[in-house]
Amino acid sequence: MNLEHLNKLKKLLSSPKKIAIIPHKNPDGDAIGSTLALWHYLVNTGHTASIVAPNDYPKFLKWMPGSDKILNFEKENSQSKACINNADIIFTLDFNHLGRVGQMSAVLESATATFVMVDHHQEPSDYAKIMYSDVKMSSTCEMVYVLINQLGDENSITPEIANCIYTGIMTDTGSFKFAATTSNTHRVIADLMDKGAEGTEIHHRIYDTNSPSRLHLLGCALKNMVILEEYSTAYITLSQDELDAYNYQKGDTEGFVNYGLTLDGIKFAVIFIENREEGIYKISFRSVGEFSVNDFARKHFSGGGHTNAAGGKSDDNIEDTITKFISLLPLYKNQLQP
């Protein structure tokens, strides 16, 4: 955070405030980890804080300390709206456009609180008065760690905060293998472990608590994989019927898209997942090297994210969506060469 915005934030937090902390819709490990870490920090330093999530999040994240305090906007609507409307400060974490919170956007847009954005995605919008935006950071959780240190409270990182931050960094870096993982990221992780983060236990809780139905769904997804060698591309489709057949639970498809990139010679991996309730196909894009899936998603599928990881959507049926996707690949053939 630059000095001007940091000083503004310090002034804001110099006396007890009512604070709402908001992750994006369908929050992942980084969104939940960062909001919980910030919540613990703010409560421990004398503020009244609440986390309001737009909707539910995966079961494998619900062990995290403080997760039972998170309000679900869909299920606890009145209480959630009250927290937002009564807040002096609203922190938005792990997203940079109010459209990323779904049906909560109207409530946030009408809020009178001072907005503080903490996020590492590209092309932030300008709704926040105080911004900490850094696309070079591995995760929003790493940014929360840096922010706490910049506020002069590095000694206030408790084991609970350390576990939350560690979780978000680990999940958003693919267990520290993605390109955004820097030497400083590892130094942060080392300090978090010194402060009480339980790395082995966190990894177990995130990755080693699968249900049989999730593994069967993974088998279905891998069976559906199509490899387009000419474009160094692999894509997976999952229909709503297939999700239902394997008793899909929120978060079950997390990480499926990355399997395409484990294939030798593949630079671009995509998964198309039907959401019949919303009438769309949700799309996740992943890449290695210089090919920007952020640009691809923004230009063609109403999405965006990072250079090597982004999301999007399609309102078409799967046949038309795949036809459109494949028709675009010749435009990027030179970028996708091995």
Contacting residues for 7 by C-beta, under 8 A, at least 6 apart: none
What local confidence, expressed as pLDDT, does residue 33 receive? 98
Over the chain (338 residues), the average pLDDT of each successive run of 10 is: 96 97 97 98 98 96 97 96 97 96 95 97 94 96 98 96 98 92 97 98 96 97 98 98 96 95 97 95 95 96 92 96 97 92
pLDDT of residue 264: 96
Phi-psi region at 302: left, alpha or beta (left = phi > 0; alpha = psi -120 to 50): left
In this structure, the answer to whether residues 297 and 151 fall within a common structural domain is no
Q: Are residues 226 and 200 in the same domain?
A: no
CATH number at residue 57: 3.90.1640.10
pLDDT for the residue 179: 87
- Residue 57: the pLDDT is 95
Please report the DSSP string for 269-281 in residue order.
EEEEEEETTTTEE
pLDDT confidence of residue 335: 95
Shared-domain flag, residues 43 and 64: yes
- Contact yes or no for 43/49 (Cβ under 8 A): yes
Burial 34-65 (b: 16+ CB within 10 A, else e): bbbbbbbbbeeeebebbbbbbbbbbebbeebb
Q: Are residues 94 and 222 in the same domain?
A: no
DSSP letter, residue 182: -
Is 203 in the same domain as 220? Answer: no
Query: Do 139 and 261 lie in a common domain?
Result: no
* Same domain? 246 vs 197: no
Spatial distance between the Cα atoms of 95 and 4, rounded to a whole number of angstroms:
21
The pTM is what?
Answer: 0.91
Task: Check residue 226 and give its pLDDT.
Answer: 98
Q: What is the pLDDT of residue 338?
A: 78
- The verdict on 243 and 302 lying in the same domain is yes
Give the total number of structural domains in the chain. 2
Is 178 in the same domain as 319? no
Looking at 179, 207, 235, which one is the last position of a domain? 207
**Do 142 and 239 fall within a single domain?**
no
Q: What is the pLDDT of residue 337?
A: 86
Full residue range of the structural domain in which residue 75 is found = 3-207
Residue 69 has, within 13 A of its CA and on its CB side, a CA count of 16
Q: Please give the structure tokens belonging to residue 35.
A: 């909001």
CATH number at residue 264: 3.10.310.30
Same domain, 236 and 167: no
Which one of 207, 240, 266 terminates a domain? Answer: 207
Which of 191, 207, 223 is the last residue before a domain boundary?
A: 207
Going 199 to 201 to 205 to 210, the CA torsion angle's sign is positive
Q: Are residues 56 and 132 in the same domain?
A: yes
Cα-to-chain-centroid distance, residue 105: 17
